[in-house]
Amino acid sequence: MGLTVTEKIIANHLVQGEMAPGKPIAIRIDQTLTQDATGTMAYLEFESIGIPRVRTELSVSYVDHNLLQSDFRNADDHRFLQSIAEKYGLYFSRPGNGICHQVHLERFAAPGKTLLGSDSHTPTAGGAGALAIGAGGLDVAMAMAGQPFHLNMPEVVGIYLTGELQAWVSAKDVILELLRQLSVKGGVGKVMEYFGPGVETLSVTDRGAIANLGTELGATSTVFPSDQVTKAFLKAQKREDNWVELVADEDARYSQVIEIDLTSLEPMIACPSSPDKVVRVRDVAGKPVSQVIIGSCANSSYRDICVASQALQDRSIDRNVSFEINPGSRQVLENADVAGALKNLIHAGARIHQCGCLGCIGMGQAPATDTISLRTFTRNFPGRSGTKNDQVYLCSPETAVASAIKGVITDPRDLGAAPEVSLPEEYIVNDNGIIPPVEDGSSVEIIRGPNIKPLPDFEPLPEDLHGKVVLKVEDNITTDHIMPAGSKILPLRSNIPAISEYVFSAIDPDFSIKAREAGNVIIVGGENYGQGSSREHAALAPRYLGVRAKIVKSFARIHKANLINFGIVPMTFEDPEDYHKVQQDEELVIPGLRQALLSGADSVTVKRPSGDTFVVRLDLSERDRFILGAGGLLNWVKAQLSAE
């Protein structure tokens, strides 16, 4: 039986386990990336491992999230990251050089390579035929130390594309349609692999946009083949020597095949406040908008900027709309400028921001009260924009610019003739924003500002766990709920004591106080707990406050891995109805939890104050169990190293 592209890459990197869906495997990692919101902690973790240099083929430290320098903290973190890169042998992408996923796709992503990134949208590189996976910073630190990445072998779902996108319809509409069909839980435990004749009609940046939002399906990754389109893109980037052909075998088998006729698609839009609340644009057309932003790692490529520019030829932005552009990289900005795109945008009334994540992570660009904001972003979780009770819609650049012109949500087909953007045969490439690694960084001194605090030490798991249910939450809790982002909180990412004060603050502003008073804390939750960002602070900061276990109906992949890494035991209700029995503020006892973990038990009994009991499942690998018993991955690794 033939292999899919995903299976070929995994087979070429497999170091442990068997390629059977759901079985634990470990794969060798070729490349890593971090961004500044997750990178400071990842490098503190890497330092604690104690090796002199990264052991990957290539590792890159990007600064793209914490670009607002309202005080010393973000600037200090940037100097710390640059000195870390110089000492340990990483590339360093300067502040303002661009969003990590856009820059990595342009300058580093390569077919057949594995990439592990401390950002959930790392799968963007799948647009160039890589197997790219988002993970917590500690997993990325381990990969930089030469350790394999552990995960369960994913199912490979085939997305069979036919036809060709029509005028005013683009790649964003493809993935929005898939989110409409499958929901934010539809990709859990799966890699989405695209194939079929429709694939060759999509550019690499189109593919990257689709792969990027595959994360919102909950998917482990998204993979496209490496074909002549990939070769042309790499040649235009002056990286043709990175190209290899990589396609699925004709007799490859997928666990499921979903067919999408590109010709039949129309403009789609995700309504507040979830990426899967997708309808046709025409179903919500006419609603007034006050803000429109084109940007984020999903839609900030050369093509996206030029589409908006051409649509604005001889047109202006509506008087009541703030229309804003976040170019994905300096390369995008420079090439768009040479093509004359910036002139059109500026003349029409657009605001041009620096190349970075900005509003997508809540670092500025918050919308006005009780107004609609249309964004080409990745997520529209409640309050993520920085405005409470926000009304954020996710859409394509075409829908965005049409709505900015009309002042209301508009089907872009109403504008008439569609823009026709031709991609450059050769991009202007200027890597001055990327500092390459030095051969020997052993004498480099790490620069640490006063906001960078040491990693906390965590004790091993006790034999019996006594804990208070300090918080009980519903389905689809995101990492934004657990550990908010935004300009107030993001600068604290390298200071766990300080950032822990904001854990669950959007749900219960007094959570940190209650947690410290309780001692050992247990959180109870519903389905898809921990969806969204890869931010390990959503595990690390709660652990600092005393959270020792989470009992939920189901977990999102990355968050579950992060919990294990920091010694928080992830458990699921054997009977989901037991969720309704557990009450907030009651004391639970889990006798023999440590022994159950280390002995390989599949479940354990939880006692309630009433004397009732219920059973929770321990869906964990042998490695997971040892890590939890040690109190976290760093404890476990250090114990192994000291025993050698």
Q: Are the beta carbons of 140 and 117 closer than 8 angstroms?
A: yes
| CA atoms of 156 and 220, how far apart (whole Å) | 10
417 C-beta neighbours (distance < 10 Å), count: 9
Letter for the amino acid at 543?
Answer: R
| Residue 36, SS3 per DSSP | helix
In 150-191, alpha helices (H): 171-182
Burial level of 404, CB count in 10 A (0-12/13-18/19+)?
buried
| CA atoms of 551 and 572, how far apart (whole Å) | 5
351 is catalytic: no
Task: From 356, 161, 359, 392, select the one nearest 257 (Cα to Cα).
Answer: 161
Burial level of 11, CB count in 10 A (0-12/13-18/19+)?
exposed
Strand pairing category for 31-35 and 58-62: parallel
303 is catalytic: no
To the nearest 10 degrees (0 to 180), the angle between helices 537-544 and 557-565 is 40
Among the options 13, 36, 59, 64, which is catalytic?
64
55 is catalytic: no
Among the options 13, 36, 59, 65, which is catalytic?
65
Strand pairing category for 391-395 and 434-435: unpaired
Among the options 118, 203, 290, 533, which is catalytic?
533
271 C-beta neighbours (distance < 10 Å), count: 19
Q: What tokens were used for 324?
A: 């804003």
Q: Are the beta carbons of 42 and 137 closer than 8 angstroms?
A: yes
Q: What tokens were used for 10?
A: 């995994």
Distances (CA, A) of 327 to 222, 335, 341, 577: 23, 11, 12, 47
Among the options 73, 535, 543, 625, which is catalytic?
535
Q: Are the beta carbons of 539 and 136 closer than 8 angstroms?
A: yes
| CA atoms of 283 and 272, how far apart (whole Å) | 14
To the nearest 10 degrees (0 to 180), the angle between helices 330-338 and 341-348 is 90
Q: Are the beta carbons of 472 and 466 closer than 8 angstroms?
A: no
| CA atoms of 273 and 292, how far apart (whole Å) | 16
| CA atoms of 80 and 99, how far apart (whole Å) | 19
| CA atoms of 343 and 313, how far apart (whole Å) | 10
Task: Give the largest CA-CA distance in the chain.
Answer: 74
508 is catalytic: no
379 is catalytic: yes
Q: Are the beta carbons of 421 and 306 closer than 8 angstroms?
A: yes
DSSP states of 406-475: HSB---GGGGSSPP-PPPPSS-----TTEEPPPS--TTPPPP--TT--PPPP-PPPPSSEEEEEEEE--S
Name beta bridge partners: 256: 157
Among the options 53, 104, 379, 548, which is catalytic?
379
Residue 370, phi-psi category: left (phi > 0), alpha (psi -120 to 50), beta (remainder): left
Task: From 192, 193, 162, select the one nearest 265 (Cα to Cα).
Answer: 162
Q: What tokens were used for 625?
A: 């169990």
241 is catalytic: no
- Report, as residue numbers or ranges, the catalytic residues: 64-65, 119, 379, 533, 535
